[in-house]
Amino acid sequence: MKNLFFLFPLGLMACGGGGETIATEINDTTSVSTDTVQSIDYSGTYEYIYPYNSLDLIENHYIVLEKNTDNTYSGRYYGTTDLFDEAREGYLPGFFVLPMQNILIEGENLAFELNPTPQDFFNETILLSMNSSADAQVAGFTAWEIGLKPEQKKFTAKLLGGTISLENQLEEMNFIPMN
């Protein structure tokens, strides 16, 4: 039945009419296809399960993405100081929540930056209900005092099959949706 729809305008073209109708039909189809691709919404909470968790210490990481009204994204990253530490030896990690800055999503590529200060790190795992370091301070979380001097760090990731595959210096971290 679908093929008959396209054959009818072709028949009109052969008779000297209807050429504009075909062009309009093809352009409308292309437009719908492009709009569909751009309407993908990556909003949600994604979890990376740390492979060496113990009963005493859970070091999972989380990415929370929120789509803004202008189709850009804002987000928060919950993680451990291992992202900014070359090698942890003999001490426990610090925990943080940081705003994801300069988020860019193009196709299946995601890029963002984290810009921590030593005051952003705590001894306790940051709860997903906390949106900032200030929330952790108000809740009475204790400062992590190892003395790490973190620097701004840029990250790239792939958005594939509903997951975020973050390219980290030591490993690939696969975040799966929690929703």
Domain locations along the chain? 2-38, 44-177
pLDDT of residue 103: 97
Segments in the chain below pLDDT 50: 1-37
Q: Quick one: residue 116, left, alpha or beta (phi over 0 = left, psi -120 to 50 = alpha)?
A: beta
The pTM for the full model equals: 0.77
Q: What is the pLDDT of residues 69-101, one digit of tens each?
A: 999 999 999 999 999 987 788 899 999 999 999
pLDDT of residue 61: 97
The answer to whether residues 76 and 97 touch, using CB atoms and an 8 Å cutoff, is: yes
Kindly state the tokens that stand for 133: 């370091």
pLDDT of residue 35: 39
